[in-house]
Amino acid sequence: AQSVTQLDSQVPVFEEAPVELRCNYSSSVSVYLFWYVQYPNQGLQLLLKYLSGSTLVKGINGFEAEFNKSQTSFHLRKPSVHISDTAEYFCAVRDTGRRALTFGSGTRLQVQP
Amino acid sequence: EAQVTQNPRYLITVTGKKLTVTCSQNMNHEYMSWYRQDPGLGLRQIYYSMNVEVTDKGDVPEGYKVSRKEKRNFPLILESPSPNQTSLYFCASSVRVDGEKLFFGSGTQLSVL
């Protein structure tokens, strides 16, 4: 069965600092991986996804993530965050043979001035 | 504007009183899904639908019903709500049946007293 672990429930960071949000997954088969972002009082939006090919994936708003199969990780990074990046970030995984996404518990990114 | 519309945005009810949360999408998507979001648990899938008249259980279907009579609508029905169904609910849709890129509604905050 697929599962996702987001190791940090909250990440405080100062504006213009780099940030990494960690995500590890568990699956017995090949996977597709996703990061979604939820701004306050809104639904989730797709930030980026890994389906195949290059392990470094670039998304919207300057975010990128790297798929590491040996470490079963898909960490999200941004070299310089803005106040507007304050949101909750969800990692999600889907086994290639399944139709449903499994979401992690979320990481709240709090960008401080 | 392409969107997923949920109603109502907030709902307070009492135990046992049947309720329906509506969901409509205007993107002609085949795939639709319902999630509930609880603190520390992330999003968990309740039901999903791959097309009209095709629905299937997600991870937490107990106490919920759905129907897909039209492509654009996917209502969530709680026939006898209980306090443990107090949660934030999201409807989502996707072009592809594998739910690769989900578009989310703004959410329905349900409180069952």
Are residues B26 and B72 in contact, defined by beta-carbon separation less than 8 angstroms?
yes
pLDDT of residue B11: 96
Distance CA A39, CA A110 (A): 11
Over residues B42-63, the pLDDT tens digits come to 899 999 998 999 999 998 999 9
Q: For residue A21, is pLDDT > 60?
A: yes
Judge: B100–A41 Cβ closer than 8 Å, yes or no: no
Are residues B106 and B28 in contact, defined by beta-carbon separation less than 8 angstroms?
no
Distance CA B103, CA A47 (A): 12
Residues from B contacting A (CB-CB < 8 Å) are 4, 31, 33, 35, 40-45, 48, 50, 58-59, 90, 92, 97-107
Are residues B87 and B76 in contact, defined by beta-carbon separation less than 8 angstroms?
no
Q: For residue A10, is pLDDT > 60?
A: yes
Over residues B68-77, the pLDDT tens digits come to 999 999 999 9
Over residues A25-74, the pLDDT tens digits come to 987 778 899 999 999 888 899 999 998 888 999 999 999 999 999 999 99
Residues from A contacting B (CB-CB < 8 Å) are 4, 6, 9, 32, 36, 41-46, 49, 51, 90, 94, 99-106
Over residues A40-53, the pLDDT tens digits come to 888 899 999 998 88
Over residues A88-103, the pLDDT tens digits come to 999 999 887 776 788 9
Q: For residue B98, is pLDDT > 70?
A: no
Q: What is the mean pLDDT of residues A4-12?
A: 94
What dihedral do alpha carbons A48, A93, A68, A17 form, nearest 10°? 50
Percent share of chain B, pLDDT over 70: 96
Distance CA A92, CA A98 (A): 13
pLDDT of residue B99: 56
Are residues B108 and B10 in contact, defined by beta-carbon separation less than 8 angstroms?
yes
**Which residues in chain B touch residue A99, judged by CB atoms under 8 angstroms apart?**
31, 48, 50, 97-99
For chain A, report the end-to-end CA distance as a whole number of angstroms: 41
Tokens 């709680």 sit at which residue?
B78
Rg of chain B (C-alpha set) = 13
pLDDT of residue B18: 97
pLDDT of residue A31: 87
Q: What is the mean pLDDT of residues B23-49?
A: 93
Q: For residue B40, is pLDDT > 90?
A: no
pLDDT of residue B97: 63
SS3 A96: coil
**Which residues in chain B touch residue A93, judged by CB atoms under 8 angstroms apart?**
none
